Chains A and B, each alone.
Chain A
Amino acid sequence: MKILVCVKQVPDTNEVKIDPVKGTLIREGVPSILNPDDANALEAALAIKDNDPNVKVSVLTMGPPQSCEMLRECLSMGADDAYLLSDRAFGGADTWSTSNTLAAGIRKIGDLDIIFAGRQAIDGDTAQVGPQTAQRLDIPVVTYVQQVQVIGNKVVVQRQMEDGYELIEVQTPCLLTAVKELNEPRFMSIYDIVDACGKEITVWGHEDIKLSPENCGLKASPTQVFRSFTPPTKGKGEMLNGTAGEMSKSLVSKLKGLHVI
């Protein structure tokens, strides 16, 4: 069985801060990480491999050359090989373009049984690239997967809903997007870190995956950023003083005065 995991290197948005004076993003010192949901996707693939040594796990990303660091991390967690789609023509892609590029890369890799991806990346939070890649490959997709069981050429998954889950059976090949409830990603192992150093990362540009520059990156993106801005903050209100009892009394009388309680 061949499994591919789509991953993305993202800035750790939990570490991003706003310059209080200029209202702009401070990104200095913000570390780049393997997108959290993608780590769950990789763990799901590696867990299948743990139970069946014939399973091969590959990882694929689209991004700038420095994404190699993250791919090395994936190899050090236990992935067998790694592919990087990197080309100036891929830059500035929206989800339409990204899914088009990933699908072209996946076609070149070929013969896959399961493709995993994270539900969404923390820099964009769109959750679109997974299902869109599946549509381009014309394979079934299940998003928000919180449990996976492989049974022959079928996969039975739990699809997380707002108020519970659906138990879904899907045929392979298929694409599944992982949520954090799926598993606890493993750490890199010393053995695999050493092993990963010797592994080659395959790098492909647009010609390698037979994609014209017109069909990737910013040029092919139907959506465009019209403008971006830091969100207006609500502004600080009143700090109450006194003992817990006094503050509570003051709060309740203020809320009653406003007719909200």
Chain B
Amino acid sequence: MSVRVIVEKCKGCSICVKSCPFSAIDMENKIAVIGDACTGCGVCVDECPFDAIEKTEDNVKKDLSEYKGVWVFAEQREGKLMPVVIELLGEAKKLAAEIGTDVSAVVCGDEVDALTHELFAYGADKVYQAVHPELKNYRTDAYTKVIEEAINQYKPEIILLGATHIGRDLGPCLAVRCDTGLTADCTKLEIDPDDKKIRQTRPAFGGNLMATIICPNHRPQMSTIRPGVMDKAEYVAGREGVAIRLDVNFKEDEIRTKIIKIVKEAGELASLTDAEFIVSGGLGLGNPEGFELLKKLADKLGGTIGSSRACVDSGWIDHSYQVGQTGTTVKPKIYFACGISGAIQHLAGMQSSDYIIAINKNENAPIFEVADYGIVGDLYEVIPAILEQL
């Protein structure tokens, strides 16, 4: 798909030049000219008051009908499924129902029988098992090889991976090996009702813009999905499915990295995505000790603390607490934003919380634009007052 200026209709108003997020349009002799930086996003098509810009479809058609089924990468660490896997299965179920196909999970590890039953219970119709001592912990070369072979053999039409530090490493490698596209960090997936292809929506430009991406002529269609965004699959005890063992063989030196050790530091991350209550702090705290007050409120509610990027960059708190575009996406029942101004990158990670409460000294802070309840005041007075009321 590409964007084209219809020269006869262009009036030279240059509205498209201003609207282009990628600075890809210039005026030459009072006619808009689309340059190299064009990504085909189509913003200018909608902006042009004279319908002088159009999107053209490419006419490449391949036989894609061999590819069937929705796959989920069942990421495990230390023999436990990552919470995002349950979310992927929930989403995969919905997509598969709309397409009229089934859901499979791919699990790699040294021992996967218990995980297989768990995956069946969460809705997988089939589980492809890759079992080998070398697959106990994730390593790029090993997992890429095994899953690439499975894709080539069984030909899924859609593959979903969690946008974790592992999924964001594996996904790109698989996409190149299988010669297909990958859309990163999706927050919404839809099936086109006409052609049953997937539409993948993701934030771009630091959350300033949402882009819906398609992968029309390559298979499988691949997405990594932000943890904490999709609804979890339902657990049905005793649900059964079909387990399929994959052939796994490694040659010597085929896996080119060696894990010397695994070191655990902050242990709170899982509780950030699962937390019902999050009390988050920004630079308005004034100092790192401010998080202690937030912790009191979080503890009282049975929740956890979070942070804006600015506090992480200032070294006040570990990055695993960061909420936002480059941190964790959260959707708790209540999100307290304390001394957080509300940069778009932060909003991108917490806007789907059920209730947002903003406490800030600056009444013009953008955070109030998304808050259900806004309190203009000193958080060091307001939070102790809230604690008294609880």
B residues 179-225 in Cβ contact with A at 8 Å: 179-185, 199, 203-218
Binding-face segment, B31-39, B117-125, B278-286: B31-39
When the two chains form their complex, are residues A126 and B181 in contact, meaning their CB atoms are under 8 A apart?
Answer: no
A87 to B37, CA, bound (A): 10
Chain B residues with Cβ below 8 Å from A130 are 172
A24 contacts B208, C-beta separation under 8 Å: no
Q: Are A226 and B199 in contact, with the CB atoms below 8 A?
A: yes
Once the chains bind, are B374 and A171 in contact (CB under 8 Å)? no
Q: Which of B183, B256, B257, B262 has the most CB of A within 10 A?
A: B257
**Which of B1, B18, B19, B172 lies at the interface centre, i.e. has the most chain A CB atoms within 10 A of its CB?**
B172
- Least CB distance, B36 to chain A, in whole angstroms: 3
Q: Is A228 a contact of B41 with CB atoms below 8 Å? A: yes
Contact partners of A123 in chain B: CB under 8 A: 204-206
Q: Least Cβ distance of B273 to chain A in Å?
A: 10
Tell whether B385 is near chain A: CB-to-CB under 8 Å. Answer: yes
Bits for A140-171, please: 1 = Cβ < 8 Å to B, else 0.
11111000000000001001111111111111
Contact assessment for B208 and A228 in the assembled complex, using a CB-CB cutoff below 8 Å: no
Q: CA–CA, A18 to B347, complex, Å? A: 14
A125-B184, A231-B210 known; A132-B176 Cβ under 8 A: yes
- Expressed in whole angstroms, the Cα–Cα distance for A181 and B179 within the complex equals 32
A135 to chain B, nearest CB (A): 4
A162 contact set on B, CB distance < 8 A = 164-165, 269, 320
Q: Secondary structure at chain B's binding surface: helix, strand, loop or mixed? A: mixed
B39 touching A92 by the CB < 8 A rule?
yes
Distance of B245 from chain A, by nearest CB (Å): 26
In the complex, what distance in Å separates the CA atom of A240 from the CA atom of B357? Answer: 10
Partner of B206, one of A14, A91, A228: A14
User: When each residue 20-54 of chain B gets 1 if its CB lies under 8 Å from chain A and 0 otherwise, what string results?
Assistant: 11011000000000011111111100010000000
Q: Are A234 and B351 in contact (CB under 8 A)?
A: yes
Task: Check: A136 CB closer than 8 A to any chain B CB.
Answer: yes
User: Given the interface contacts A95-B172, A169-B257, A171-B256, does A181 sit within 8 Å of B21 by beta carbon?
Assistant: no
Whole-angstrom CA separation of A24 from B20 in the bound complex: 9
The complex places the Cα of A87 from the Cα of B35 at a distance, in Å, of: 11
Residues of B within 8 A of A252 (CB): 386, 389-390
| Size bracket, chain A contacts | 35 or more
Chain B residues closer than 8 Å to A160, beta-carbon distance: 165
Does A166 contact B262, Cβ atoms closer than 8 Å? Answer: yes
A206, chain B: closest CB distance, angstroms: 12
**Given A95-B182, A124-B204, A234-B356, A170–B257 Cβ distance below 8 Å?**
yes
- Do the beta carbons of B262 and A221 come within 8 Å of each other? no
User: Quick check: A247 and B377 within 8 Å, CB to CB?
Assistant: yes
Least CB distance, A165 to chain B, in whole angstroms: 5
B319 CB–A CB distance under 8 Å:
yes
Q: Which of B327-364 contact A (CB under 8 A)?
A: 333-334, 343-345, 347-348, 351, 354-357
Check B256 against A140 for contact (C-beta < 8 Å).
Answer: yes
Q: Which residue of B lies closest to A133 (CB)?
A: B176
B40 x A225 contact (CB < 8 A): yes
Kindly identify which residue among A124, A171, A181, A222 contacts B217, using a CB–CB cutoff of 8 Å. Answer: A222
Q: Is A224 an interface residue (CB 8 A)?
A: yes
Contact of A244 with B334 in the complex, beta carbons under 8 Å: no
CB of B176 within 8 A of CB of A18, answer no
Known contacts A223-B215, A240-B374, A261-B301; decide if A13 and B38 are in contact (CB<8 Å).
no
- Say yes or no: is B175 at the interface (Cβ < 8 Å to chain A): yes
Q: Does A88 contact B (CB under 8 A)?
A: yes
User: Known contacts being A140-B256, A164-B264, is A244 close to B385, with CB within 8 Å?
Assistant: yes
**Residue B128 at the chain A interface, CB threshold 8 Å:** no
Q: Which of B5-13, B92-100, B152-160, B365-373 contacts A (4 or more CB under 8 A)?
A: B365-373
Q: Are B165's CB and A143's CB within 8 A? A: yes
Task: Pick the most buried of A163, A217, A255: most chain B CB atoms within 10 A of its CB.
Answer: A163
A123 and B24 CA atoms in complex are apart in Å by 14
Q: For the complex, what is the distance from the CA of A128 to the CA of B176, rounded to whole Å?
A: 10
Is B326 engaged at the interface, CB distance under 8 Å to the other chain?
Answer: yes
Find out whether the CB atom of B38 lies under 8 angstroms from the CB atom of A218. Answer: yes
The contact of A163 among B212, B266, B390, by CB within 8 Å, is B266
Cβ of B66 within 8 Å of any chain A Cβ, yes or no, is no
Which residues of chain A are within 8 angstroms of B292 by Cβ–Cβ distance?
Answer: none
- Judging by beta carbons under 8 Å apart, are B42 and A225 in contact? yes
CB–CB B262/A255 < 8 A: no
Q: Does B258 touch A at the CB level, under 8 Å?
A: yes
A211: interface (CB < 8 Å): no
Q: Which one of B209, B267, B270, B372 lies within 8 Å of A230 (CB-CB)? A: B209
Judge whether A64 and B36 touch: CB under 8 Å.
Answer: yes
Say yes or no: A135-B177 contact (C-beta < 8 A), given A144-B165, A234-B351, A244-B385. Answer: yes
Q: Closest Cβ of chain A: how far from B137's Cβ, in Å?
A: 8
A90 vs B345: C-alpha distance in the bound complex, in angstroms? 29
User: Chain A interface (Cβ within 8 Å of chain B)?
Assistant: 11, 13-14, 16, 18, 24-25, 27-28, 64, 87-88, 90-92, 94-96, 99, 122-132, 134-136, 139-144, 156, 159-171, 174, 180-181, 217-218, 221-231, 233-240, 244-245, 247-249, 251-252, 254-255, 258, 260-261
A–B pairs, 6, beta carbons within 8 Å: A16-B208, A94-B181, A166-B137, A222-B179, A225-B39, A236-B369
